[in-house]
Amino acid sequence: MFTQRSRRQQNYGVYLLAYHLLNSEYIPPVTLGTILFQVAIFLGYIPAIDQWKIREMCLLPSRIIYRREWIRLLASTVIHADDMHLYYNMISFLWKGRRLESFLGPLRFLILISVFIVSTGVCVVMLSYLLEVILGFHALQLMSQCAVGFSGVIFALKVLHNYYFPYTDSSFLGWFPIPSRYTCWVELLLIQVLTPNASFIGHLAGIIVGLLYVNGPLKALICWLENLTAILLGIRTDRNRFFQTRRDGSHFWSFDASEERDYSEFTAGMSEEEQLRFAREESLRRRYQNSPTAPPYPPY
């Protein structure tokens, strides 16, 4: 998510992105559709959210709060400042989306992206209002910063990626060892140092939204929306499950009433998602313990 800047006359970033997509392996439908949708916006094929309407569509907290221009919450996320901004965001999203969509399924991933788009925008507005209006940090001028870009959602997906695949990114930038749970925070600071005009609040909001999914209410909301959508469309979810809450407040997956057998005594009280994650972590942990060197870091 970058503050507004002039657009390049050449679309080198679009050409690079197209080359990368055409030479990539299988790309899941929601991930590919999300990328193509934002490319279409940048090239001006969707007049309602045209690339040249950055001033009218950027995420400007003061306009959203005082003038109720709600469209900015949605439009600002899928508009990019220039071609290279679009390229870097989409390449990062391609890497995360390919793995997460394959793991979560297309329907759930589509709902997750939609919720994250709204949530990151709302979080940016709340943080800006809190810091400038309530806490009095007027010098930051957060309420008047005009930001665009998909990077807030990408940071949220980074948190999810580290949650579901905790041992895949054991090193930062391919050489610096760091626990995966901290990589998003390191990236937050590094991007701000290398690119001062980047929206720090936008990236921070993405991390907060990701944490709200992993440890908070967003997972329950997305699960409810997934089940509701499946019912309305008359389709079955991948494993015919629904989301419930235990008395202690924790959440778990459960099968519907049509399931005749109860396998809970064999699972130590864990949900299917918890079983899969536990098995994957144990497999990866044993592999790394028996390996003298860490495996090569996948390209980011």
> What residues have CB less than 8 Å from 269, skipping those under 6 apart?
none
DSSP string, 64-126: HHHS--THHHHHHHH--SSHHHHHHHHHHHHHHHHHHHHHH-HHHHHHHHHHHHHHHHHHHHH
| AA letter at 73 | L
β-sheet bridge partners, residue 59: 147
Q: How far is CA 76 from CA 49, 59, 150, 288, in A?
A: 9, 5, 8, 42
Pairwise CA distance, residues 104 & 101, whole Å: 5
Q: Contact, 58 vs 134, CB < 8 A?
A: no
Tokens 């390049």: give the residue. 8
- The active-site residue, picked from 76, 119, 151, 199, is 151
SS3 of residue 259 by DSSP: coil
Q: How many helices (H) and strands (E) does the chain have?
A: 12, 6
Pairwise CA distance, residues 153 & 247, whole Å: 32
Pairwise CA distance, residues 161 & 163, whole Å: 5
Q: Contact, 170 vs 177, CB < 8 A?
A: yes
* Residue 20 designated active-site: no
8-state DSSP, 81: S
What's the chain's Rg over C-alpha atoms? 20
Q: Which DSSP helix (H) or strand (E) runs through 245?
A: strand 241-245
Q: Contact, 243 vs 249, CB < 8 A?
A: no
* Residue 138 designated active-site: no
Active site residues: 151, 203
